[in-house]
């Protein structure tokens, strides 16, 4: 891989603002068309060799024929991104600026981590392998979703196509955990966290409908005040915490590497689970692994500054914990609010995924590849707290995993879906190497 040319290709694709939106008629689909056309030009060897079809409107499904059609694998990424404006960014979100030099070089822009970094790394790896004359042992499918950030319909359509054709992948790898420093208290080594399950993304709308009127004669409890009270009550009533089997497997994996009080606690799980739950509660990242979470993300009310709103709404983004259910989450919301005048409507309900095995050929293949590309890291399973397109594939494969092969600092992880999303170029290059090595093992 010519590093500078690969980076230029990455920059060109980040510059295409493939922003997905909940309202599909607001999406600028011409940018998605331009992105797909750019791939054909930038990766000619891949497009001469692999079969490509468009499913679900804009999702790309490639097939790379292997020597055998048994034990196929699926590599996934998505090319849609969340919206971003220039405000507050050190470098414009769709400029794909590169700063620094040597190992400190960074590429800035929306999608560099989530998730064009993985998508372009896969393309670079496949292109170079095709150019070298390599053919995988088994069929490899590439699935590049177009609406992961909103509906996930493209990946669902791809999974449906494979199921109709009787294709049951032995391994599915999508975005997810990364190689992270300072990810777990008491462990000094970086962790390569591989998601073996993911929480269920669920949207609940809280609605208050009541009589309006002039703002000069408000009732004791207006629609907005009632809604605000419901939000406060919900926010002050967290979901119960507990360790599911995937998290317990993570703790057992980390036990030999942890020091101090945490290390002793990990090696005595039978009696220290309550202590460890308190440790997990101190970090947003670890706390989210142990319980269903909720966050009010949108508010709407009123049409005039001097009129009482007749309707007030709040959107609650819930991530249902592994081992729980959408029904349990909604029951908790209603109980926490304690107000029948606040309607609780399920806008979207998705159950948490099943847990993929941490032994066997699929897991061993990924773990061995990580050990080659990032030998300094401890490979461990974990629960993916964010939703991925891979959830659509759990019905046709037991080996669904979520791992982004980049070293990401805390600051880089915090920039996901936020201002100043960026990634170190050297980290991205190592990710390309990960995919190249993985392809050689498939």
**In terms of residues, how long is the chain?**
442
- CA 60 to CA 39: how far, in whole Å? 11
DSSP string, 341-371: TSEEEEEE--PPPPPPPSSSHHHHHHHHHHH
Q: Cα separation of 170 and 368, whole Å?
A: 16
User: Where does residue 4 rank: exposed (0-12), middle (13-18), buried (19+ CB within 10 A)?
Assistant: exposed
Strand partners, 76: 143
Whole-number CA gyration radius for the chain: 23
Pair type for strands 191-198 and 378-384: parallel
User: What is the Cα–Cα distance from 69 to 239, expressed in whole angstroms?
Assistant: 45
From 148, 149, 313, 421, active-site residue: 148
Indicate if 80 belongs to the active site: yes
Active-site position among 80, 115, 174, 412: 80
Q: Which residues contact 372 (CB under 8 A, 6 or more apart)?
A: 434, 437
Judge whether 205 and 308 are in contact, CB under 8 Å: no
The closest of 185, 136, 203 to 283, measured between CA atoms, is 185
What residues are labeled active site? 80, 148
């Amino acid at each position: 891989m010519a590093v500078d040319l690969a980076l230029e290709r990455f920059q060109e694709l980040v510059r295409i603002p493939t922003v997905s939106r909940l309202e599909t008629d607001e999406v600028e689909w011409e940018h998605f068309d331009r992105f797909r056309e750019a791939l054909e030009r930038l990766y000619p060897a891949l497009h001469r060799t692999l079969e490509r079809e468009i499913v679900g409107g804009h999702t790309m499904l490639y097939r790379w024929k292997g020597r055998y059609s048994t034990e196929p694998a699926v590599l996934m990424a998505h090319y849609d991104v969340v919206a971003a404006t220039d405000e507050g960014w050190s470098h414009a979100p769709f400029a794909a600026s590169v700063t620094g030099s040597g190992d400190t070089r960074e590429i800035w822009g929306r999608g560099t981590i989530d998730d064009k970094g993985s998508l372009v790394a896969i393309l670079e790896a496949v292109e170079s392998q095709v150019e070298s004359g390599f053919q995988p042992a088994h069929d490899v499918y590439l699935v590049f979703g177009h609406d992961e950030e909103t509906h996930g319909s493209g990946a669902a359509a791809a999974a449906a196509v494979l199921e109709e054709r009787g294709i049951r992948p032995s391994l599915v790898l999508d975005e997810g955990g990364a190689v992270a420093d300072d990810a777990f208290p008491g462990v000094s080594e970086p962790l390569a966290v591989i998601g073996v399950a993911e929480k269920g993304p669920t949207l609940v709308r809280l609605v208050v409908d009541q009589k309006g009127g002039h703002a000069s004669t408000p009732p004791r409890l207006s629609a907005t005040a009632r809604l605000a009270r419901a939000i406060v009550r919900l926010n002050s009533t967290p979901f119960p915490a507990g360790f599911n089997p995937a998290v317990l497997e993570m703790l057992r994996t980390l036990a030999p590497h942890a020091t101090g009080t945490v290390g002793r606690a990990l090696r005595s799980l039978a009696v220290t689970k309550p202590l460890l739950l308190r440790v997990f509660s101190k970090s947003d990242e670890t706390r989210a692994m142990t319980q269903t979470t909720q966050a009010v993300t949108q508010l709407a009310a009123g049409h005039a500054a001097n009129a009482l709103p007749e309707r007030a709404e709040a959107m609650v983004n819930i991530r249902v914990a592994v081992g729980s259910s959408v029904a349990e989450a909604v029951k908790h919301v209603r109980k926490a609010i304690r107000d029948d005048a606040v309607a609780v409507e399920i806008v979207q309900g998705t159950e948490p995924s099943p847990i993929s095995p941490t032994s066997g050929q699929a897991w061993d293949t990924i773990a061995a590849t990580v050990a080659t590309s990032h030998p300094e890291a401890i490979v461990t399973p974990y629960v993916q707290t964010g939703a991925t397109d891979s959830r659509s594939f759990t019905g046709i494969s037991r080996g669904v995993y979520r791992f982004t092969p980049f070293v990401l600092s805390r600051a880089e992880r915090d920039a996901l879906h936020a201002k100043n999303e960026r990634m170190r170029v050297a980290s991205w290059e190592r990710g390309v190497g990960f995919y190249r090595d993985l392809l050689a093992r498939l």
